[in-house]
């Protein structure tokens, strides 16, 4: 449990540092908004790419046991919705970070198709 606590504290420290940076060091509102958008975009892209961290394990074991199909469906729907919304607004800070969610969801759908979960899961 200790590594989880340390990771959580590290993430909280990153967020606190980011908050301090944006509120204390950047005085120009336009610059603050642009950098905050980039900061949030990096976290969004990281969130969408994280399920693929087990990609080597999936290919090696030929099993999608470590992937969640409901999470893949939800991620696809959410990222596609946000991408289309960003496209309507012509807002790159919404559109661009959500595109990897669409792409990685399609990759995960392909993995579920290539390595059928019926071998691994009772459903």
Domain membership of residue 96 as a residue range: 64-116
Q: Which tens digit of pLDDT belongs to each residue from 61-117?
A: 888 888 889 999 999 999 999 999 999 999 988 999 999 999 999 999 999 999 876
d(Cα 103, Cα 110) in Å, to the nearest integer? Answer: 11
Within this chain, do residues 3 and 47 fall inside the same structural domain, yes or no? yes
Q: Is the pTM of this model over 0.85?
A: no
Within this chain, do residues 78 and 26 fall inside the same structural domain, yes or no? no
**What number of CA atoms fall less than 13 Å from residue 61's CA on the CB side?**
14
Query: Do the domain assignments include residue 71?
Result: yes
Within this chain, do residues 21 and 54 fall inside the same structural domain, yes or no? yes
Reading the block at residue 14, the tokens are 């990153």
> How many independent structural domains does the chain possess?
2
Query: Do the domain assignments include residue 122?
Result: no
Q: Angle at Cα 63 formed by Cα 61 and Cα 67, nearest 5°?
A: 125
Within this chain, do residues 57 and 107 fall inside the same structural domain, yes or no? no
Within this chain, do residues 55 and 79 fall inside the same structural domain, yes or no? no
Q: Rounded to whole angstroms, what are the CA distances from 83 to 33, 70, 88, 102, 108?
A: 20, 20, 9, 8, 18
Weakest-pLDDT range from 1-10, 22-31, 72-81, 109-118: 109-118
């Amino acid at each position: 449990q200790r590594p989880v606590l340390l990771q959580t504290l590290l993430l909280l420290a990153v967020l606190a540092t980011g908050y301090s940076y944006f509120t204390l060091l950047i005085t120009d509102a336009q610059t603050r908004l642009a950098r905050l958008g980039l900061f949030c975009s990096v976290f969004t892209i990281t969130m969408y790419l994280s399920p693929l961290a087990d990609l080597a394990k999936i290919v090696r074991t030929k099993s999608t046991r470590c992937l969640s199909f409901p999470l893949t469906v939800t991620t696809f729907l959410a990222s596609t919705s946000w991408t289309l919304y960003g496209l309507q607004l012509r807002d790159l800070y919404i559109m661009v970070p959500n595109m990897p969610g669409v792409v990685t969801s399609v990759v995960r759908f392909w993995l579920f198709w290539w390595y059928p979960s019926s071998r691994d899961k009772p459903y």
